[in-house]
Amino acid sequence: MSIEIKGEATPNPNAMKFTANQVLFEGSGSASFKQGDEVEHLLAKELLALDGVDNIFGYQDFVTVNKEMNADWDSLLPEIQAAFEKIYE
């Protein structure tokens, strides 16, 4: 089954929420990672490797990506989509 992701804006212009049609983060707790953290979660690692991503917050079927102030969503969005596809296809 291929992954489907729906991106939506948040009240914070530097953050976007991405909801998937499957569980991204197992367990009952949330996961938070920032640039420079040692990360084992595959999706988190891919997202944090993207130029312009500052930190992420994940819980069950969604992840919120926070970009750096000078980063541009127009260039980040295709890279975020590619990161999901790399891990879940």
Tens-digit pLDDT profile for residues 19-72: 999 999 998 889 999 999 999 999 999 999 999 999 999 999 999 999 999 999
Position 89 scores a pLDDT of 84
Asked if residue 82 has pLDDT above 90, the reply is yes
β-sheet with 53-59: strand ranges across: 5-9, 15-20, 62-67, 53-59, 31-34
What does the pLDDT read at residue 1? 62
Structure tokens at 27: 């367990």
Q: Would the pTM count as exceeding 0.85? A: yes
Which of 78, 67, 86, 87 has the alpha carbon at shortest distance from 12? Answer: 67
CA distance 72 to 68: 8
For residue 86, pLDDT beyond 80 = yes
Q: Delineate the domains of the chain, giving CATH numbers in brackets.
A: 5-88 (3.30.1370.70)
* Calpha distance 40→48 (Å, rounded): 11
